[in-house]
A = this chain, B = another copy of it.
C-alpha cells in the first residue's frame, strides 16, 4: 500500500484524529470520517459542538476523582447518598458501570488506576492520600474495594487494605463467583474455585 494522499488535508486530519479515539483503528477511522462527512448536519456538527462544550465545562472532582461539570461532582453533592459507605474504583468508567447498575446509594473514590509493576504504576500515581483523608474524616464506616478481579486489581486491594488498617473503618471487597447468567462450562477455573470456596447456604 502506498501512502498516496487519498482525500484533502482536512479529511486526512479528521481521519488521523479519529484513529486515536479508543475503539477506532486506522481502518474504522476512515469509515467513521466518511459517515461523519455524509451526516454533516445530523452528526458531525452536533458532535463537534458537544466535544467543544464538554472540553470547556468538564472538570475532575477534587473530592472523589469523578468527572462532571461541577466540583465537587453531583454524586459528592447528593445528600441522599449514604455517607457511611465509600466505594473505591479504579477508573471513572467503573464508577459509571456501578451507577448504571443502580445498586449503589453511596459515594465513590476513583483511584485513577491500579498498582502495576509492569506498567510502572506505583502508589504515588494513585489518589491514595485523598482516600486515606476521606476514610479518616469520620463519617465513613466502611470502604468497599470495587476493583478488578485481576492480579493488579487484587494487589491494589491488598495495598489499600494495609493503608487503611489503622483507621476505624471496615474494609471489604466485591464478592467473587459465578456471574449472573454465567454457564459453568464457559467459566475459567479461577472463577469456579472462588465460587466453590465462597459457597453460600440455600
A-B contact pairs, 8 of them (CB 8 A): A8-B68, A22-B32, A23-B23, A23-B28, A34-B92, A44-B55, A47-B51, A48-B52
A4 to B17: give the CA distance in the assembly, Å: 31
Given that A10-B58, A45-B55 are known contacts, is A23 also in contact with B22, CB under 8 Å in the complex?
no
Q: Are B2 and A21 in contact (CB under 8 A)?
A: no
- When A and B form their complex, which 9 residue pairs have the shortest distance between CB atoms, in order from nearest? A2-B102, A23-B28, A48-B51, A17-B47, A6-B99, A8-B69, A6-B96, A48-B48, A14-B50
The reply on A11 being an interface residue by CB < 8 A is yes
Number of copies: 2
CA distance A69 to B22 in the complex (A): 28
Pick from B24, B33, B54: contact of A10, CB below 8 A.
Answer: B54
Inter-subunit contact B40/A48 (CB<8 Å): no
In this complex, what residue of B is CB-closest to A43? B20
Given A7-B96, A8-B68, A51-B36: A22 and B31 interface contact (C-beta under 8 Å):
yes
Would A54 and B67 count as touching, CB distance under 8 A?
Answer: no
Q: Name the CB-closest residue of B to A47.
A: B17
| Range class of the A interface residue count | 35 or more
Contact of A47 among B18, B39, B100 (CB under 8 A): B18
CB <8 Å contact, A13 and B99: no
Q: Is A22 a contact of B13 with CB atoms below 8 Å?
A: no
Q: For residue A68, which residues in chain B have a CB less than 8 angstroms away from its CB?
A: 7-8, 11
Bound-state Cα–Cα, A24 to B22, Å: 9
Roughly how many angstroms separate A100 CA and B45 CA in the complex, as a whole number? 28
- In the complex, A45→B91 CA distance in Å? 22
CB-based contact A50/B101 at 8 Å: no
Q: Decide yes or no: A44 and B54 within 8 Å by CB, A4-B100, A7-B96, A100-B2 being known contacts.
A: yes
**A24:B32 contact, CB within 8 angstroms:** yes
Indicate if the CB atoms of A50 and B7 lie closer than 8 Å: no
A35 on the B face (CB < 8 A): yes
